[in-house]
């Protein structure tokens, strides 16, 4: 098997899984309980939270544990929208966002909020001049992802923050950092809110983080809050939180070397793909772990299933929108369906080997010729 869909989800690191199992077995107390078992669990919770805060360079009280990035995105956007609706109901986002962002924007639009989409430049970055033009006195939120999950386009968060502050310093800036964590450097000091998910960095599914600047107030999405969970009701998922902390430490320790390895893999992959009449959608502004290209003549779903016969696993758009036309490429190609309905995403990892890239290219050639022949008939 050759797995090349790491941006959809990652296998759990054995060391992370060991931590999960150990905590599950040995820390059975609810961290909200006042007895000895609860106190032990709370101490471990604080230890894991402090470790994550140190890695992210933020205060532990700025971290809210959620079920994943989709909940974090929803909490951030609805939390700001409802808290600051008297200040204004104008929100700015982009077509580069994950489905969890786009759908909540649609919901807010339906109940009276004014949602604008900033233009995307041909290089995949947002148009900063257009962003500045869109910001108004009644703008309350800008939500722009750091790394697009389909193409890998990176956004200049610091510059976006500067544009916001110049036009209206009261605007809150949220970014979905799901695809940035473990793939590139970022700084929470540029943001007011940020979303993360554990299963993108070799930890179990079901745990995420919402970073919330300490002095920022937002409305609660899930009620039943406690001292340990002041902004999100529920019992702390201690084994998952500890696992997330462990995975974050492991990925952070080798971030630079992992990036360099993926850069080499990407170069080799693009070299092999260069002989085909396809459109490469990822560029030098993208993270090296994601390579997106459009086949132009062959539907992406058909190609993905053809590769699957050889136990090679890639994806089309995102895992949450895998059977839908790519909204990102639709926006970038001015609605060209040959581009937006034939895209393939190959996502690499430090676990990927050069041999796997070569094998993928070998099978790609075989499948390409098979399907092209059928298409021409």
| 169 SS3 class | coil
Counting every residue written for the chain, the total comes to: 377
Catalytic residue among 21, 58, 262, 320: 320
Which of 69, 28, 70, 80 is CA-nearest to residue 235? 28
Look at the block and give the residue holding tokens 């750091």: 146
Phi, psi of 196 (to 5 degrees): -140, 160
d(CA 146, CA 211): 14
Q: How far apart are the first and last CA of the chain?
A: 31
Residues in Cβ contact with 135 at an 8 Å cutoff, skipping those fewer than 6 apart: 92, 142, 163, 164, 167, 168, 171
| 168 SS3 class | coil
Active site residue 85: no
Which of 282, 256, 251, 258 is CA-nearest to residue 269? 282
- Per DSSP, 276 falls in state S
Q: Which long-range contacts (CB under 8 A, 24 or more apart) does 120-125 make?
A: 120/94, 120/95, 120/96, 120/331, 120/332, 122/332, 123/153, 123/283, 123/285, 124/96, 124/148, 124/151, 124/153, 124/283, 124/285, 124/286, 124/332, 125/153, 125/154, 125/155, 125/156, 125/285
d(CA 143, CA 58): 20
Gyration radius of the chain's alpha carbons: 21
* Catalytic center residues: 320
């Amino acid at each position: 098997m050759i797995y090349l869909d790491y941006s959809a989800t990652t296998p759990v690191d054995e060391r992370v899984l060991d931590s999960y199992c150990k905590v599950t077995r040995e820390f059975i107390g609810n961290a909200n309980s006042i007895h000895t078992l609860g106190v032990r669990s709370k101490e471990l919770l604080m230890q894991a939270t402090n470790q994550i805060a140190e890695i992210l360079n933020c205060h532990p009280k700025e971290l809210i544990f959620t079920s994943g990035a989709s909940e974090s995105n929803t909490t951030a956007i609805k939390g700001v929208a409802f808290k600051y609706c008297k200040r204004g109901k104008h929100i700015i986002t982009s077509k580069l966002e994950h489905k969890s962002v786009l759908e909540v924007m649609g919901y807010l639009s339906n109940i009276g909020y004014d949602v604008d989409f900033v233009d995307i430049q041909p290089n995949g970055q947002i148009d900063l001049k257009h962003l500045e033009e869109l910001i108004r006195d009644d703008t309350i939120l800008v939500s722009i992802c750091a790394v697009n999950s389909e193409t890998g386009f990176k956004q200049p968060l610091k510059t976006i923050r500067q544009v916001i502050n110049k036009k209206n310093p009261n605007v809150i800036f949220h970014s979905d950092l799901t695809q940035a964590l473990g793939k590139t450097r970022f700084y929470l000091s540029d943001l007011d809110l940020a979303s993360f998910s554990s299963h993108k960095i070799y930890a179990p599914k079901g745990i995420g983080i919402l970073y919330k600047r300490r002095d920022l107030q937002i409305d609660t999405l899930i009620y039943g809050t406690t001292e340990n969970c002041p902004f999100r009701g529920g019992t702390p998922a201690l084994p998952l939180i500890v696992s997330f902390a462990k995975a974050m430490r492991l990925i952070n320790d080798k971030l630079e070397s992992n990036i360099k390895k993926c850069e080499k893999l990407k170069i080799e992959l693009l070299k092999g793909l260069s002989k085909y009449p396809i459109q490469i959608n990822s560029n030098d502004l993208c993270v090296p772990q994601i390579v997106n290209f459009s086949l132009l003549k062959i539907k992406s779903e058909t190609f993905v299933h053809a590769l699957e016969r050889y136990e090679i696993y890639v994806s089309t758009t995102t895992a949450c929108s895998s059977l839908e036309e790519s909204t990102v490429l639709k926006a970038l190609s001015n609605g060209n369906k040959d581009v937006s309905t034939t895209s393939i995403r190959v996502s690499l990892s430090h676990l990927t080997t050069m041999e796997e890239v070569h094998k993928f290219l070998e099978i790609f050639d075989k499948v390409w010729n098979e399907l092209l022949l059928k298409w021409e008939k």
